[in-house]
Amino acid sequence: MCGIFGYSLRPNRFDRGRLRVLCAALSCEMDHRGGHSWGYYASEGLVRGLGSLSGHVSARDLASHDSLMAHTRMATTGKVAVENCHPFIQGSVVGAHNGIVNNHEQLNGKYKRDLPVDSQHIFQHMEEDLPLDDIEAYGAVEMTLRSQPGRIYLGTFNGGSLSVWRGKWGAVWASTYWTVKRGLRLASLKAKELVIFDDEWYYAEAGGVYTLHDKIGISPPPKKAVFQPGWYSHNPLAKDDLAAFDHAMAADLDDIDRAWNGEGGYHS
């Protein structure tokens, strides 16, 4: 189980102070799904490291961009090492994946690759313009092209989890509903969750979210996958139980406060 999150801002419509609060909350929450390593990509380039994201990168740094996609990794395939951190650069494609590629070894053999992390096949296929139905996987992805760093493509397939929200100030997404909900509430930002259909490509750019009307087309694993539930799926709180919601959110404020200065870390 890993975590992905990111944002895309509308030009000249955002308070960076609020974005720092949002990024502190997102990085802290997603560290609960990762902790082994982290990485993020923005127009300035790729940054990756080991341990927890909130323990190594301040909210100020995360919030200093116009768009960003980030990943927190709990290693499954491939050792814990900086070179195995998401996002990956596969030629012109930069991408991060939360999920499992079931036929990782078969793809390495078929295409004479030596990719250590299963997720890399998704983005290597894109780079080589190969059909994605060759891949058996589930999950969610965020990716961009190095020639278009301000446009971030988003999608889920075969039961993956991703919550995407849009407001007048821009767009934000993360692996779970409650991660975004809590972050927005802490930052005093208004946004609405969008309906994201499985196996459909979307993209975020300049604060908007758009559909491509294109299928992702990744094949499901041959055996029924055992999905890792997100925070919301096993959380007993109802969406409208704001008192209980505020109580749960307050329990994480110390972690989020440390994440503000890059001193947090659920697994650090």
pLDDT at 14: 73
If you average pLDDT over residues 191-208, what whole number do you get?
Answer: 95
Paired strand residues for 96: 142
Contacts 24+ apart (CB under 8 A), 244-248: 245/181, 245/182, 245/185
| 16 pLDDT tier (thresholds 50, 70, 90) | confident
| 47 pLDDT tier (thresholds 50, 70, 90) | very high
| 44 pLDDT tier (thresholds 50, 70, 90) | confident
**CA–CA separation, 209 and 102 (whole Å):** 30
pLDDT at 50: 96
| 130 pLDDT tier (thresholds 50, 70, 90) | very high
pLDDT at 77: 87
Instruction: Assign a CATH topology to domain 3-260.
Output: Glutamine Phosphoribosylpyrophosphate, subunit 1, domain 1 (3.60.20)
pLDDT at 52: 93
Answer whether residue 215 shows pLDDT above 80: yes
**CA–CA separation, 111 and 95 (whole Å):** 20
Answer whether residue 253 shows pLDDT above 80: no
Answer whether residue 231 shows pLDDT above 60: no
The answer to whether the CB of 189 falls within 8 A of the CB of 169 is: yes
| 260 pLDDT tier (thresholds 50, 70, 90) | low
pLDDT at 207: 95
134-188: per-residue pLDDT in tens?
999 999 999 999 999 899 999 999 999 999 999 999 999 999 999 999 999 999 9
- Examine residue 87 and say whether the peptide bond preceding it is cis (omega within 30 degrees of 0): yes
If one compares 216 and 246, the residue with the highest pLDDT of the two is 216
| 217 pLDDT tier (thresholds 50, 70, 90) | very high
Residue linked to tokens 């195995």 = 84
Rounded to two decimals, the pTM is 0.86
List the beta strands (DSSP E) in 34-169.
Answer: 37-42, 45-50, 67-73, 88-90, 93-101, 137-145, 148-157, 163-167
pLDDT at 266: 45
Q: In whole angstroms, what separates CA 189 from the centre of its chain?
A: 20
**CA–CA separation, 5 and 141 (whole Å):** 10
Answer whether residue 78 shows pLDDT above 50: yes
Answer whether residue 227 shows pLDDT above 90: no
If you average pLDDT over residues 58-85, what whole number do you get?
Answer: 93
Element (DSSP H or E) covering residue 209: strand 208-215
Q: Where are the domains of the chain?
A: 3-260
pLDDT at 233: 35
The answer to whether the CB of 77 falls within 8 A of the CB of 118 is: yes
